[in-house]
Structure 1
């Protein structure tokens, strides 16, 4: 009954937001980087911080004791991201808030107590890099929602059947938010896009859960629960560096962009393929006893080769 009530609240919240976004012209206009061609409401991903607020209301005492630092970090990064959706902010302002949010996230996960101090800068770089990867990959209908849904369901399974590392509702609530968001976004003509508030919000939540899991188990292999995004972004940035391009400028070099823009493959098909690939990796990851470097050798060297081969073939065909 609780989950049905949460879904109803989230549906009402996003419908109210649509009215506000329409009134104040919070929209996403297509540009040279976009894979869409029509003006669409932006910021539908506000449902993710709303889901956390609802989580707090249903779990008030526990939130005050256990989740206050995570909540402050999430709301800070979502607030600055929403403002950036409406009005472009300087990189210094955004990065400053991101750093504060990551500090709060690491405090929440216990990383400052469980890891040596010399690893903290590495954790900062990895988390901020992963947050930006989430943002980079949020370019077509369904991608952010269904990819996050698969990762969260994998985490829920691990929490229930492998090792309990957090409260069950702390994973279920973002899953419900993904389902509601997908209802409006997983369409040929999306009702809304996630915006930075969505990609950063759900990315922060997923990264927080994975970091909690790693701190609880000491198994760094769980980083690979986001490996498809990681591989795509790392290989694309490497390509742009080799081509001497400004990696901070908008572009259309991601493989999913080539499939969507040049081959005109359905956004929903592309998003589903990415999610299924990550799901298969997650299944192997959960049940395998191999160390992380063996998993990388078995899966990601061949997968990286396939990725580069497909990209080279598309670029050659379309003279990119």
Structure 2
């Protein structure tokens, strides 16, 4: 009954946000680097911080006693991202807020006590890099929602069947938010886009869950729950460095962008395939007892080879 109420609340919240966004012209205008061609409401990903607020309402004691560091970090990063959706902010302001939010995330997951101090800077780089990877990959209908749904579903299964690392509701709430968001976004003509508030918000929640799992098991293989995003972003950054491009500027070099913009493949098909391949990796990851280094070799060598082969073929075909 609780989750039915949550879905209803989230539906009402996002519909109300649509009215606000329409009134105040919070929209996404396509440009020459965009994979979409129509003006669309931006910031639909505000549903993710709203989902946490609803979580707090249903779990007041847990929120006050345990989840407040996560909540402060999530709301901070979502607030600065939402402002950035409306008007561009300087990198210094955004990165400062990201830095504080990551501190709160690591405090929430008890990483400062469970990990040696020399690992802390590595964690900061990995988490901020993953947050931005999520943002880079949020470019077509359904991508962020479906990919996050797969990862959250995998985490829910691990929590129920492998090892309990957090309260089940703490996974289900963002999962329900993804479903509601996808109802409006997983369409040929999307009603809304996630915006930075959405990509950063759900990324922060997913990263927090994966970090909790790693702290509980002391097994770093679970970072591979985001391996498709990680491989795509790292290889694209390497490509842009080789081409001497500014890696912080918007571009159309991701594989999904080539399929969407040059090949004209449906956004929904592309998003589904990314989610599907990540789900295959997650099943293998959960069932396997292999060490991290071996999993990396088994997953990234064939996946990287396929990725580079497809990209080379498309670039050759379209003279890019």
Q: Specify if TM > 0.5.
A: yes
Question: What is the CA deviation profile of residues 96-152 of structure 1, one whole-angstrom value per residue up to 9, with x for unaligned ones?
Answer: 000000000000000000000011000000000000000000000000000000000
Q: Which residue of 1 aligns with 2:142?
A: 142
Q: Which residue of 2 aligns with 1:64?
A: 64
Deviation of 1:299 after TM superposition, in Å, equals 1.6
Q: Which runs of 5+ in 1 are unaligned?
A: none
- Structure 1 segments (4+ residues) deviating >6 Å: none
Q: Which residue of 2 aligns with 1:23?
A: 23
Q: TM-score, normalised by structure 1?
A: 1.00
Deviation of 1:193 after TM superposition, in Å, equals 0.1
Deviation of 1:279 after TM superposition, in Å, equals 0.2
Deviation of 1:225 after TM superposition, in Å, equals 0.1
Counterpart-to-counterpart distance in 1, 2:111 and 2:11? 35
Q: Which residue of 1 aligns with 2:88?
A: 88
Deviation of 1:212 after TM superposition, in Å, equals 0.3
Taking the TM superposition and a 5 Å limit, the aligned residue runs for 1:153-302 are 153-302=153-302
- 2:19 pairs with 1:2: no
Deviation of 1:197 after TM superposition, in Å, equals 0.1
Deviation of 1:297 after TM superposition, in Å, equals 1.1
Counterpart-to-counterpart distance in 2, 1:276 and 1:218? 27
Three-state SS of the structure 2 residue aligned to 1:30 is coil
Deviation of 1:44 after TM superposition, in Å, equals 0.1
Deviation of 1:32 after TM superposition, in Å, equals 1.7
Q: TM-score, normalised by structure 2?
A: 1.00
Q: Which residue of 2 aligns with 1:53?
A: 53
Q: Which runs of 5+ in 2 are unaligned?
A: none
Deviation of 1:31 after TM superposition, in Å, equals 1.2
Counterpart-to-counterpart distance in 2, 1:297 and 1:254? 22
Deviation of 1:262 after TM superposition, in Å, equals 0.3
Three-state SS of the structure 1 residue aligned to 2:103 is helix
- 2:122 pairs with 1:122: yes
Deviation of 1:33 after TM superposition, in Å, equals 1.6
Counterpart-to-counterpart distance in 2, 1:316 and 1:163? 47
Counterpart-to-counterpart distance in 2, 1:124 and 1:152? 22
